[in-house]
Amino acid sequence: MSTFADLLKYLKIYRRYLGRRMYLIFGLTVATAVAQVFGITLLLPLLRASQSGGDPEDMGWAEQILHDLLTWMGIADSMVAILAFIAVTFVAKGALQFAKGGYQGYLQAQLLRELKTKLFDAYSGMDYRYYIRQNAGHFINVINQQVNRFFASFNNFIGFTTQAVNTAGYFAGAFFVAWRFALMAMGVGAVILFLFKYLNAYVRRLSRKRSEEMSTLNKLLVQSLQAFKYVVSTGQTKHLREGVVDSVNRLTSYIFRQRAAGAFTSALKEPVSVLLIVSLIAIQVAVFNDPIAPIFVALLLFHRGMQAVISVQSGWQSTMDRIGSVEMVDDEFETVLANQEANGRQPVGDLHDGIELRNVHYAYNEEDGDVLSDINISIPANTTVALVGESGAGKSTLVDLLTLMLKPRTGAVEIDGVPHDEVDLAAWRDQIGYVSQETVVFDDTVANNISLWQGEIEEDPELRERVIHAAERAHADHFIRDLPNGYHTVVGDRGVRLSGGQRQRLFVARELFKQPNLLLLDEATSDLDTASEQHIQDSIDALKGETTVVIIAHRLSTVKNADQVYVLDEGRVIEAGTYEELRMREDGQFREMVDMQSL
């Protein structure tokens, strides 16, 4: 792809997030360059004014235009007035440069806001099936590191375009003053940029590899930290370290090569400029016998122009350094938005009839076969329903269907008679409380973990009362009060400062605080001691007739009071009835499970 095509491609990407307002910065850049070049060309009439005996007929056409302008202003013969005019021009240039810099900072802040919020929203709405095919390290890498590099790339891109405009301005000014001199300079500049084309392509490849490697490294680091206790206590660190070190070595190799390419470009800047200036001035004076004054001004413009040419290359190279991040973030947006969760438009109020699963089949991958087959389950409102079965029977997948995180391959899940593909997901999920097998605890205070940042309990007595009441029902209040700062204790990442049972009770307290219409308990008491389990079981039993409760349990003692028990095996419902009906059924699998647990 050519540099011009690349330029248009990345310009469109930036515009996608900033809109047309970004074009104002290019207008300010052009205005700044024009003011700067005009101020330099005013040296010609200044030099003429210093030579009081100069013949106007010796003026070139460019100098004549400037002389006519200053004559019209009435200052052509006054060095002091011309100097003042030059000063005013550069003050105006400084004001324009300040306006451009300030607006560029505003655009950068807007770009970061747009990227972070839009990407978070896109991730929040992505389809669950897409999510489980990815890894957390990739998502964290994109929304943090790659978005930050995308943000920084905009500054490089604007720097590149600024230098490109400055280059055009300097060479235009030089052409205006000494056109033969300028033509030679422009030709040399074009050759230099052409030769750097291959270096730019090399830097862009490194940038793409660097962005991909950062995702790999991030994945390894996140997984290592999440499994810190296991990895260290079992002496597995060395195995993970090999993968991390290999990834770090690749990443640092890419960074080193990018920096070496940047150093090469910077090292050429001064020598190339000086050598070309000396050569071109020699040709201009020796061959064309041009007067020295225009050559002096053109020399200044050309020197700046050649510096700008190398700066254009440096700016483009810096842009290429981060372009892998720009492409990764833009591709991520496209991919995630193409995998957004389908949402219906039918709002559902408080659950009043119940949930029906009719002839439901579900497969994570159709080629691997269904994990749920011909499921027909009725969950009337304000009843307690239990799902039991061996591991791998499909119980958790069935719960994901109830939350509509997963949608049936065939069949229907109906919420108060509304088919799943018509349900407004936000309205439905607002009614759900869900205690999953994996405890979800945030690195914040106990109070914020229960209320999910609904306010400060010290400032809101009603909120405090609700938080404490939820903790008491989850049999968590007594251990919370024993913590160093009580309800204000920060529990650490994923609740690392709490025991497994304490984390689970805190999780249960949050869901009870929510006062859901549907409470899903997926092995909710699996990590609790007998006393805590009994207290929470009492809390669940107290909800009977008031809240719809769905329980997944291996310990069958927790489902004795369920209104209906469904037994699953290999993705099918093989038995259904009350606890007592199933326990008394001869040759039934449920009875066999009860006997194995000696209930």
Write down the pLDDT at residue 227: 65
> What is the DSSP annotation of 171-208?
HHHHHHH-HHHHHHHHHHHHHHHHHTHHHHHHHHHHHH
Write down the pLDDT at residue 217: 79
Please give the residue range of the domain that contains residue 390. Answer: 348-431+516-574
Query: Residue 19's closest CA among 114, 84, 102, 142?
Result: 114
Q: Is residue 564 part of a domain?
A: yes
Q: Is residue 584 part of a domain?
A: no
Least confident of 149-163, 173-187, 468-482: 173-187
Same domain, 329 and 417: no
Higher pLDDT, 191 or 498: 498
Same domain, 409 and 556: yes
pLDDT 10s digits, 184-220? 666 666 666 666 666 767 777 777 788 778 777 777 7
Q: Is residue 133 part of a domain?
A: yes
Least confident of 13-27, 49-63, 70-84, 96-110: 49-63
pLDDT 10s digits, 536-548? 777 777 778 888 9
Mean pLDDT of 569-576: 90
Q: How many domains does the chain have?
A: 3
- The number of CA neighbours under 13 Å toward the Cβ of 561 is 12
- Range with top average pLDDT, 32-41, 107-116, 590-599: 107-116
pLDDT(509) > 70: yes
Same domain, 24 and 37: yes
Same domain, 259 and 170: yes
Task: Report the DSSP beta bridge partners of residue 434.
Answer: 520
Same domain, 499 and 533: no
**pLDDT-derived band of residue 288, with 50, 70 and 90 as boundaries?**
low
CA pair distance 355, 464, nearest whole angstrom: 33
Mean pLDDT of 520-546: 77
pLDDT(599) > 60: no
Same domain, 387 and 420: yes
CATH number of the domain where residue 531 is located: 3.40.50.300
CA pair distance 386, 548, nearest whole angstrom: 11
Write down the pLDDT at residue 28: 87
Mean pLDDT of 292-302: 60
CA pair distance 68, 271, nearest whole angstrom: 38
pLDDT(1) > 50: no
Write down the pLDDT at residue 215: 75
Q: Is residue 483 part of a domain?
A: yes
Same domain, 76 and 169: yes
Same domain, 248 and 371: no
CA pair distance 434, 89, nearest whole angstrom: 68
Chain-wide mean pLDDT for the chain? 80
Mean pLDDT of 475-497: 88
- Range with top average pLDDT, 112-126, 170-184, 231-245, 269-283: 112-126
Write down the pLDDT at residue 190: 67
Same domain, 232 and 110: yes
**What's the first-to-final CA gap in the chain, in angstroms?**
72
pLDDT(309) > 60: yes
pLDDT(102) > 80: yes
Write down the pLDDT at residue 387: 92
**pLDDT-derived band of residue 100, with 50, 70 and 90 as boundaries?**
confident
Q: Is residue 236 part of a domain?
A: yes
Write down the pLDDT at residue 82: 78
> What is the DSSP annotation of 243-275?
HHHHHHHHHHHHHHHHHHHHHHHHHHHHHHHHH
**pLDDT-derived band of residue 411, with 50, 70 and 90 as boundaries?**
very high
**Paired sense of beta strands 418-419 and 410-415, if any:** antiparallel
State which of 320, 338, 356 marks the end of a domain: 338
Q: Is residue 590 part of a domain?
A: no
Q: Is residue 579 part of a domain?
A: no
**pLDDT-derived band of residue 392, with 50, 70 and 90 as boundaries?**
confident
Spatial neighbors of 569 by CB under 8 A, at least 6 apart, are 389, 390, 393, 589
Same domain, 294 and 425: no
pLDDT(378) > 90: yes
Same domain, 265 and 385: no
CATH number of the domain where residue 318 is located: 1.20.1560.10
pLDDT 10s digits, 222-274? 777 666 655 665 566 776 777 778 888 888 888 787 777 767 766 665 666 56
CA pair distance 357, 397, nearest whole angstrom: 13
Least confident of 127-136, 397-406, 528-537, 584-593: 528-537
CA pair distance 130, 472, nearest whole angstrom: 38
State which of 469, 499, 515 marks the end of a domain: 515
Least confident of 4-13, 42-51, 124-133: 42-51
**pLDDT-derived band of residue 422, with 50, 70 and 90 as boundaries?**
very high
State which of 495, 515, 535 marks the end of a domain: 515
pLDDT(142) > 60: yes
Q: Is residue 242 part of a domain?
A: yes
Higher pLDDT, 315 or 552: 552
Mean pLDDT of 462-482: 90
Same domain, 361 and 268: no
**pLDDT-derived band of residue 53, with 50, 70 and 90 as boundaries?**
very low
Mean pLDDT of 394-412: 90
**Paired sense of beta strands 548-552 and 564-569, if any:** unpaired
pLDDT(332) > 80: yes
CA pair distance 558, 228, nearest whole angstrom: 33
